[in-house]
Amino acid sequence: MNNDSIKIVFLGDITGRQGRTAVKSYLSSLKNEAEKNNTTSPFIIANIENASHGFGLTKKNYIDLSESGIDCFTSGNHIWDKKDIYEYIDEAQNLVRPINYPNGTRGAGSRVFEIQGQKLAVINVLGRVFMPPIDSPWQVVIEEIDKLKEEGVQHIIIDFHAEATAEKICFSKYLAHKYNTEENALVKGFFGTHTHVQTADEQIYEGMAYITDAGFCGAVDSVIGMEFETSMKRLSTSLPERYEISESPIAQINGVEVLIDRTGATHIARINLKVDNNITGGAVNESN
């Protein structure tokens, strides 16, 4: 790790109270490790569209997670599910909503951060395959990246919140081909979210750290964070059934750890940990 390197930790969809509690324990362990080794703490990006009881993000949880060490919050199609989002989204300087909502939508589709004297932008995007209707990401994201490049941004990280793996792979390769060269990669990271199931295809592609889906942070004994019984009723009968968040205390932490420098991504590794929320402060262990 050279002096120009920036360490980024990207966490998959935080889901419910168990996910929030586990993530706070994990972030505390990262902080303690950095202090012990006298190193700089990583820049933390987390998808939080399911953080408040599985749907949306309350202002209270936004503040709590900010104080716990998350530097940038990305989201997705559920970001609007809690009504108070409309009261605080314009003032939430670290929160990014999908950029391909129509012009005039409240909030910001990208944010720029200064880290170690370098400008890093985070863009949030929604896919369109098997997803609710939304503006095409292709033109919108290109326009945004071109604007950020003119503003002197050196690193761009993208959270592509989408259902279809093919759409994620295709869009990531398109951006890498358009903006990255052997000498300099502008798009340093492209991380898929939404399915809550971590994929095993982490790689560095043309200077860009990539994973099709980062996974999720929430109860292990669940159906992608939701309680089994209500999920089974809904899926087996096709009748309306309100999903309930799982309160199982053993939680998983999914995401990726990435190193980038001025030329491109140099390292990516999956994060797959378990936390016992019954233990005060949590116990972070490697997942089997």
Our count of domains for the chain comes to: 1
Task: Report pTM.
Answer: 0.95
Helix (H) or strand (E) holding 17, with range, is helix 16-37
Mean residue pLDDT of the chain comes to 95
To the query of whether residue 155 is one of the catalytic residues in this protein, the response is no
Q: pLDDT-based confidence at 182, cuts 50/70/90?
A: confident
Residue range of the domain that includes 25: 6-286
Q: 190-205 burial, b for 16+ CB within 10 Å, e for fewer?
A: bbbbbbbebeeebebb
Helix (H) or strand (E) holding 170, with range, is helix 165-179
CB atoms within 10 A of CB 178: 12
The pLDDT tens digits for 195-253 are: 999 999 999 999 999 999 999 999 999 999 999 999 999 999 999 888 899 999 999 99
**At 134, which CATH number?**
3.60.21.10
Among residues 78, 155, 161, 194, the one annotated as catalytic is 78
Strands 216-219, 13-14: parallel, antiparallel or unpaired by DSSP?
parallel
Looking at the predicted structure, is the pLDDT value of residue 174 above 90?
A: yes
Contacts for 277-281: CB closer than 8 Å, 24+ residues apart: 277/18, 277/21, 277/22, 277/25, 277/249, 277/250, 277/251, 278/249, 281/25, 281/28
Tell me, yes or no, whether 1 lies in a domain. Answer: no
